[in-house]
């Protein structure tokens, strides 16, 4: 057997771990995956998912040919023939209903694919369609919009590696590998956290679950899910009351300090303790220890950003960091200058001014008046955009690396909508629950079959690090890279796709590497330079120093921009955050479902690989053992979990690490509703519990996807 070892990076998740892959050359198959010990960022780290990349690529259910829905079943179709048919149908829809009627939804697998998402986005702007959707608007959209109201700091927030204190709210990087500047980096997260602790980091964790990260906390606050706005307001109040903020920084850069004092005044320690369920001494200590440090930020993950009032929560996060002056100042060294694959831009010690007008500019949804943000429409409105008749109705959908049936909020509406489309083209690697509804399933590549660069995390590296990989496996079967789908359809439509580095005109022959060059045409580190290096590389020449402010720059942060004081009063008027949900009954919905992630799968990806699924079992309802006893439910029994919107069945699992009153459950399991599914194999879809129409965030449209009020009872 001829074998070869190729250096590349893993794209099972966004973290991009450097790996060596042993390949059986004749079979074009993966034999083994190892971390790269000498990699300067990952130092040999991999997780169980990455080590099963070969199983994912060689999975027997892997699609090697495209399929077309005929009646109730899917029949093989030549991929080029599928492109002909798709283009003809889409051309008709465009001519009759205009560009808005054609949409794309890019899921997580489009983010781990440097050519995928940018081409999809460029296709939509080239046909003049604002109907471009991604998973990020049902992820943590509050993070992107908060700086538009508060302002941002040109040189960024303190990184964790230089911090003496950090507060992590609802983020579990050891499992999720999710972490952005200020938080725990997703690269070899456990080892990094251990090193930081050895160096004396004081860690505060706020989470309804005593998470893998919380095990390393000096102060752990077991918050009731959904009460983060109260906790963060109490932190602000405590810091102000004890005069523990950065007076010089605030005097120079902040507007609205007095208004902030007034707005958070009701959030006393007693009130916060009663509302969050956390001892008031512990809240006070956490606030004072955080403010008493010199460097280090407060950061969040999906938990608080999926709970009620998520845009408010992200504003309060920024307000805390600003109040404590936790920003990089002139003269400080910054190792990663905001990503090597982004355009050159100096880092300046100044406030990027708030632009609240951007929140209500440009295209908006016909549903709940949610505006597009950063060139993207809100995915929480897409199902209803498909169902609502009239001008602007969406009739054609391309789904790239996403699984709406199990991942979009409100499963019933989602399924109804996907069934109502004139045409749904899905690019996936196997028959997902969503594929079962799609008109065309385009058999697509997996990561090792594509050249790539890590993009989601380019700005998050704590070193000036990048990694180009060529494809390490050949494409086998009648499969396509995702960018090819857009280029082929555009070509047949006579559409020129406009890219930063030039145009892709109809009929033009391009390779994946050409496409990478067209996307990354204006980067600090030229792609041509990056390609000369095998494996992940640090480019020390990009280490930079924070420059002083531009002369005459006077922009300031806004502590209480429009909408904040009002929303804080709303919070105070609610006895619990669950009150935002229509149909919430405090006597019935006595639990909160909080979302969490599982190590061996990535949302719905990975559960098709038996060895990975076996490690998790399914998405159990993790509950405190005392709650189970009180409900008369035995560990391992079937339970029914019901929200005002819907019910699911699952299996209860006693978990000491979950605070009382909480059902901690992973999403993106289960399948189509009303299809008999083997619970023990496929789990159930928590999205069925989510209501799109009440309790949503009015700016981003994200519905309440964590801290969902639920009732739990034994199921027969």
Ligand X SMILES: Nc1nc2c(c(=O)[nH]1)N[C@H]1C(S)=C(S)[C@@H](COP(=O)(O)OP(=O)(O)OC[C@H]3O[C@@H](n4cnc5c(=O)[nH]c(N)nc54)[C@H](O)[C@@H]3O)O[C@H]1N2
User: Could you give the C-alpha distances from 388 to 106, 348, 367, 382, 434, in angstroms and in order?
Assistant: 21, 46, 9, 10, 21
Which helix or strand (DSSP H or E) is residue 133 part of? strand 132-134
Token pair recorded at residue 7: 């250096």
What are the φ/ψ torsions at residue 180 (nearest 5 degrees)?
A: -120, 175
Are 670 and 683 spatial neighbours (Cβ–Cβ below 8 Å)?
A: yes
From the list ligand X, ligand SF4, Mo ion, none, partner contacted by residue 145 (C-beta under 5 to 8 A by kind) = none
Q: Is 457 in the site for ligand SF4 (CB under 6 A)?
A: no
Complete edge-to-edge strand list for the sheet that includes strand 298-300: 219-221, 202-206, 165-169, 298-300
Q: How far is the CB of 677 from Mo ion (least distance, A)?
A: 23
What is the total count of residues that contact ligand X (CB under 6 A)? 68
From the list Mo ion, ligand X, ligand SF4, none, partner contacted by residue 16 (C-beta under 5 to 8 A by kind) = ligand SF4
From the list ligand X, Mo ion, ligand SF4, none, partner contacted by residue 225 (C-beta under 5 to 8 A by kind) = ligand X
Q: Is 688 in the site for ligand X (CB under 6 A)?
A: no
Give the distance from CA 335 to its chain's centroid. 25
Torsion of CA 600, 605, 608, 611, to 10 degrees: -20
Q: Is 571 in the site for ligand X (CB under 6 A)?
A: no
Q: Is 13 in the site for ligand SF4 (CB under 6 A)?
A: yes
Q: Is 110 in the site for ligand SF4 (CB under 6 A)?
A: no
Q: Where does this chain touch ligand SF4 (CB under 6 A) — which range of 43-51, 131-139, 460-468, 658-666? A: 43-51
CA pair distance 333, 683, nearest whole angstrom: 48
From the list Mo ion, ligand SF4, ligand X, none, partner contacted by residue 664 (C-beta under 5 to 8 A by kind) = ligand X
CA pair distance 229, 354, nearest whole angstrom: 21
| Residue nearest ligand SF4, Cβ-based | 50
Burial of 247 (0-12, 13-18, 19+ CB in 10 A): exposed
Measured at the alpha carbon of residue 305, what is the angle toward residues 303 and 307, in degrees to the nearest 5?
70
515: which DSSP letter?
Answer: H
Q: Is 425 in the site for ligand SF4 (CB under 6 A)?
A: no
CA pair distance 513, 693, nearest whole angstrom: 43
Are 582 and 645 spatial neighbours (Cβ–Cβ below 8 Å)?
A: no
Q: Is 255 in the site for ligand SF4 (CB under 6 A)?
A: no
Q: Is 79 in the site for ligand X (CB under 6 A)?
A: no
Q: Is 455 in the site for ligand SF4 (CB under 6 A)?
A: no
Angle at which helices 482-493 and 116-127 cross, to 10°: 20
Are 400 and 428 spatial neighbours (Cβ–Cβ below 8 Å)?
A: no
From candidates 46, 79, 255, 302, binder to ligand SF4 by CB under 6 A: 46
Burial of 218 (0-12, 13-18, 19+ CB in 10 A): middle
Q: How far is the CB of 265 from ligand SF4 (least distance, A)?
A: 43
From candidates 599, 622, 645, 653, binder to ligand X by CB under 6 A: 599
Token pair recorded at residue 561: 């921009």
From candidates 8, 12, 108, 666, binder to ligand SF4 by CB under 6 A: 12
Q: Is 47 in the site for ligand SF4 (CB under 6 A)?
A: yes
Q: How far is the CB of 467 from ligand X (least distance, A)?
A: 17
Coil vs helix vs strand at 645: coil
327: which DSSP letter?
Answer: B
Convert residues 437-476 into a mask of x (bound to ligand X by CB under 6 A) and - (unbound): -------x-xx-----------------------------
Q: Which is nearer to ligand X, 129 or 302 (CB)?
A: 302
From the list ligand X, ligand SF4, Mo ion, none, partner contacted by residue 46 (C-beta under 5 to 8 A by kind) = ligand SF4
Coil vs helix vs strand at 576: coil
Which helix or strand (DSSP H or E) is residue 260 part of? helix 257-264
Q: Is 139 in the site for Mo ion (CB under 5 A)?
A: yes
Q: How far is the CB of 557 from ligand X (least distance, A)?
A: 24
Q: Is 305 in the site for Mo ion (CB under 5 A)?
A: no
Q: Which is nearer to ligand SF4, 47 or 425 (CB)?
A: 47
Q: Is 16 in the site for ligand SF4 (CB under 6 A)?
A: yes
Q: How far is the CB of 38 from ligand X (least distance, A)?
A: 25
370: which DSSP letter?
Answer: P
Q: Where does this chain touch ligand X (CB under 6 A) — which range of 278-286, 370-378, 579-587, 590-598? A: 590-598
User: Where do contacts with ligand X occur on this chain (CB under 6 A)?
Assistant: 13, 107-109, 113, 135, 138-139, 169-173, 175-178, 206-209, 211, 223, 225-226, 228, 301-304, 306-307, 400-404, 407, 409, 427-430, 432, 444, 446-447, 482, 594-599, 601-605, 664, 667-668, 686-687, 690, 705-707
């Amino acid at each position: 057997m001829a074998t070869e070892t190729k250096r590349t990076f893993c794209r099972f998740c966004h973290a991009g771990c450097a790996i060596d892959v042993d390949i059986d050359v004749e079979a074009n198959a993966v034999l083994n995956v190892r971390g790269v010990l000498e990699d300067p960022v990952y130092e040999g780290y991999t997780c169980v998912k990455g080590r099963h990349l070969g199983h994912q690529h060689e999975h027997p259910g892997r699609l090697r040919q495209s399929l077309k829905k005929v009646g109730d079943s899917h029949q093989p179709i030549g991929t080029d023939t599928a492109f002909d048919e798709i283009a003809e149908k889409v051309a008709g829809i465009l001519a009759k209903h205009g560009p808005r009627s054609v949409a794309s939804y890019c899921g997580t697998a489009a983010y781990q694919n440097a050519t995928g998402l940018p081409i999809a986005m460029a296709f939509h702007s080239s046909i003049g369609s604002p109907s471009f959707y991604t998973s990020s608007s049902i992820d943590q959209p509050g993070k992107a919009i908060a700086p538009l109201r508060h302002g941002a700091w040109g040189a960024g927030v303190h990184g964790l590696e230089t911090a003496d204190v950090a507060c992590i709210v609802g983020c579990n990087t050891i499992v999720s590998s999710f972490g952005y500047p200020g938080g725990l980096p997703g690269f070899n997260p456990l080892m990094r956290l251990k090193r930081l602790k050895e160096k004396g980091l004081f860690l505060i964790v706020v989470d309804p679950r005593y998470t893998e990260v919380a095990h390393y906390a000096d102060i752990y606050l077991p918050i009731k899910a959904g009460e983060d706005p109260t906790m963060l307001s109490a932190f602000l109040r405590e810091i102000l009351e004890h005069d523990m903020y950065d007076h010089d920084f605030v005097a120079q850069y902040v507007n609205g300090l007095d208004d902030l004092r007034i707005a958070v005044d009701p959030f006393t320690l007693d009130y916060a303790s009663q509302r969050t369920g956390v001892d008031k001494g512990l809240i006070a200590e956490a606030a004072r220890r955080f403010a008493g440090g010199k460097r280090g930020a407060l950061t969040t993950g999906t938990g608080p950003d999926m709970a009620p009032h998520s845009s408010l929560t992200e504003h309060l996060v920024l307000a805390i960091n600003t109040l404590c002056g936790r920003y990089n100042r002139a003269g400080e060294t910054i190792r990663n200058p905001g990503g090597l694959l982004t355009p050159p831009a100096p880092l300046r010690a100044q406030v990027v001014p708030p632009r609240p007008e951007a929140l209500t500019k440009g295209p908006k949804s016909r549903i709940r008046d949610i505006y597009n943000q950063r060139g993207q429409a809100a995915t929480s409105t897409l199902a209803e955009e498909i169902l609502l008749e009239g001008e602007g109705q969406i009739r054609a959908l391309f789904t790239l690396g996403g699984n709406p049936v199990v991942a979009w909020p409100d499963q019933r509406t989602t399924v109804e909508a996907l069934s109502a489309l004139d045409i749904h083209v899905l690019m996936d690697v196997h028959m997902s629950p969503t594929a079962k509804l799609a008109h065309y399933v385009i058999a697509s590549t997996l990561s090792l079959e594509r050249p790539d660069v890590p993009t989601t995390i380019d700005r998050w590296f704590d070193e000036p690090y990048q990694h180009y990989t060529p494809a390490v496996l050949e494409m086998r079967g009648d499969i396509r890279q995702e960018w090819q789908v857009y280029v082929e359809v555009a070509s047949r439509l006579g559409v020129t796709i406009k890219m930063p580095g030039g145009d892709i005109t109809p009929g033009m022959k391009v390779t994946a590497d050409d496409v990478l060059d067209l996307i990354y045409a204006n980067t600090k580190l030229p792609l041509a330079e990056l390609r000369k290096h095998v494996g992940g590389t640090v480019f020390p020449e990009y280490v930079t120093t924070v420059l002083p402010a531009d002369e005459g720059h006077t922009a300031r942060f806004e502590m209480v921009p429009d909408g904040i004081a009002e929303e804080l009063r709303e919070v105070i008027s609610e006895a619990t955050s669950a009150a935002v949900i229509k149909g919430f009954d405090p006597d019935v919905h006595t639990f909160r479902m909080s979302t969490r992630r599982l190590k061996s799968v990535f949302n719905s990806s990975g559960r098709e690989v038996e060895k990975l699924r076996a490690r998790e079992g399914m998405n159990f309802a993790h509950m405190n053992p005392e709650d189970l006893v009180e409900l008369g439910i035995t560990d391992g029994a079937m339970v029914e979990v019901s929200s005002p919107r819907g019910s699911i069945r699952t299996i209860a699992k006693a978990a000491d690490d979950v605070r009382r009153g909480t059902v901690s459950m992973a999403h993106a399991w289960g399948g189509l509703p009303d299809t008999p599914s083997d619970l023990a194999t496929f789990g159930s879809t928590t999205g069925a519990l989510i209501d799109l129409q009440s309790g949503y965030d009015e700016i981003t449209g994200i519905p309440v996807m964590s801290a969902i009020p639920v009732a739990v009872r034994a199921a027969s």
